[in-house]
Structure 1
């Protein structure tokens, strides 16, 4: 039972380190582009 608990703690720790590493080193900036659309107003 202790081995299972140690393995679970190890997996949680590795997951946390991976998440923090991805947050600091991952490229999560969205690609931006300009979008234009013509609009015709029919006011009578």
Structure 2
């Protein structure tokens, strides 16, 4: 039971370190592009 608890704690710590590393090093910037679309207005 103690080995299982140690393994679980180890996995939680490794997961937290991975999450922090991804937050700092992961490139999560959105791609930006200009969108132009012509419209014809029906004005009566």
TM superposition score category, shorter chain reference: over 0.9
Give the alignment's TM-score, normalised by structure 1: 0.95
Instruction: Note the aligned Cα RMSD (angstroms).
Output: 0.5
Structure 1 residue runs of 4+, over 4 Å off? none
Give the alignment's TM-score, normalised by structure 2: 0.95
Stretches of structure 1 lacking an aligned partner (at least 5 in a row): none
Stretches of structure 2 lacking an aligned partner (at least 5 in a row): none
